[in-house]
Amino acid sequence: MGGCVSTSSKSTCSSKSNGDTFSPSCWDIGFLGQKRTKRTFSDHVIALQHLPSIPNRIFMNGKSRTSCIFTQQGRKGINQDAMIVWEDFMSEDAIFCGVFDGHGPHGHLVARRVKDTLPIKLMSFLHSQQSRENGSSKTCFRGNVNKLDGDSEKDGSAEDKLNSSWREAFLKSYKAMDKELRSHPNLDCFCSGSTAVTIVKQGSNLFMGYIGDSRAIMGSKDSSDSMVAVQLTVDLKPDLPREAERIKRCKGRVFALQDEPEVPRVWLPFDDAPGLAMARAFGDFCLKEYGVISIPEFSHRILTEKDQFIVLASDGVWDVLSNEEVVEIVSLAPTRFSAARILVDSAAREWKLKYPTSKMDDCTVVCLFLDGKMDSESDYEEQCFSSATLQSNHSGNAVESDDGQKSEPSLQRNFTVRSSEEIENYGRLPFELEGNGEAAAGEDQNWSGLEGVTRVNSLVQLPRFSEERPGA
């Protein structure tokens, strides 16, 4: 296919021609460039089928007008990461970015499904909210609140309403996404799932929703014009005090194996499985009754001229590189086009140096440059880069559909799970520490979720359930 930007068909969705720009009014844009009133399930299926024809939407190694993305398969098996940049998302000044890290035997299918479906659900709920407003309050989602007058109650109310609308849309879209995965007829998410870190940049507004331990950071300049790293999200791991307390209230257990004390995991109350290394995720329905949730953390930030770029990445990058190292690598990249690839290459080298006996995890990066500018490499250079990276990235992986209907690569062990024999080699599993509720409540509230790494695996082993498990 020679490139990764899907521009195979024309669309009325925010197109440009001969320098003329079509700028739709707030929410006149619907799915695939059509106005819409109420969507049915069949409409949603049609939208998914036509995703490749939507312009300015990239999901494989390459670049867009404002960003570059790159993923590299680790040494655990098929690449279970997914990524997306969708420019002209809802309106011309909106950009959607996301990184999704799958785990479990079907984690790669879950991550792909979320990558395709979640942005559409978010768009749908935002459109529904705007329709309910019916134009009375004029709270347009394209509104810019970066210059609010501090003593203006009206402006403050507008900002609160904007935040409330976006928060509700993120919460509802994540809930609907998890519900769809639970009821999917061809995708088994009982012991498989995915993280998600998603952002929407609209003008100077940055809206973020995330679950799991994929992370977003920002490179910004301080008062002395030096580049600094600003962490935008928190790694939602099981040892985060508020997460651990919720899981334990739901009868789930949180502890680390003796051979990996730095990796806290979530376990069923009645079995030493599955050992999930995150507190929130899509899928993983074997743990949903025991404290693992898909409710996202939401935040809103006003961007300034000091803010230079945003990096979204899966934990394969953060396990070996610090926030400061990532910002330095991206800011010193010879071209913006190459920043994501260079960052992944740097992470791969660090894996070999720091953990030579561990299998490198999948590494996925999205770099969004906030000034909206990219380099002007030749089309020939871009095509060669995209072709080479696509071949190396997908070599040896069976072609599979997102609904799991086509044959999988015989589900060879990708070291996301461990066999019962391997578990026995680690000795008796430690019992859950008692009386942790009060201690967790008294922990420092400024916990950053940065301690420890998850380099071993997201899951330890599959639950040993019978064929007649409840709810199957």
Residue type, 118: L
Nearest to 463 by CA among 292, 243, 284: 284
320-377 pLDDT, tens digit each: 999 999 999 999 999 999 999 999 999 999 999 999 998 999 999 999 999 988 875 4
Nearest to 415 by CA among 459, 372, 471: 459
For residue 160, report the phi and psi dihedrals to the nearest 5 degrees: -60, -40
Query: Residue 147: pLDDT above 70?
Result: no
Query: Residue 16: pLDDT above 70?
Result: no
What sign for the dihedral angle of Cα 279, 284, 290, 294? positive
57-88 pLDDT, tens digit each: 999 999 999 999 999 999 989 999 999 999 99
The pLDDT of residue 472 = 40
Helices (H) and strands (E) in the chain, counts: 10, 19
Please state, in angstroms and rounded to a whole number, the distance separating the CA atoms of residues 88 and 56.
Answer: 7
Hey, is 255 helix, strand or coil?
Answer: strand
Helix (H) or strand (E) holding 366: strand 363-369
- State the helix-helix crossing angle for 41-49 and 107-133, rounded to 10 degrees: 120
The pLDDT of residue 468 = 43
Provide the residue ranges of all domains of the chain, joining segments of one domain with +.
24-236+280-408, 238-277
The pLDDT of residue 127 = 86
The pLDDT of residue 416 = 35
The pLDDT of residue 437 = 37
pTM above 0.85, yes or no: no
Query: Residue 396: pLDDT above 80?
Result: no
The DSSP secondary-structure symbol of 328 reads: H
Nearest to 418 by CA among 259, 275, 281, 260: 275
**Torsion from C-alpha of 414, 417, 420, 426, nearest 10 degrees:** 110
Query: What is the average per-residue pLDDT within 162-182?
Result: 95
Lowest mean pLDDT among 159-168, 302-311, 393-402: 393-402
The pLDDT of residue 445 = 38
User: Higher confidence at residue 246 or residue 421?
Assistant: 246
Contact indicator for 348, 78 with CB cutoff of 8 Å = no
CATH level 3 topology of 24-236+280-408? Phosphatase 2c; domain 1 (3.60.40)
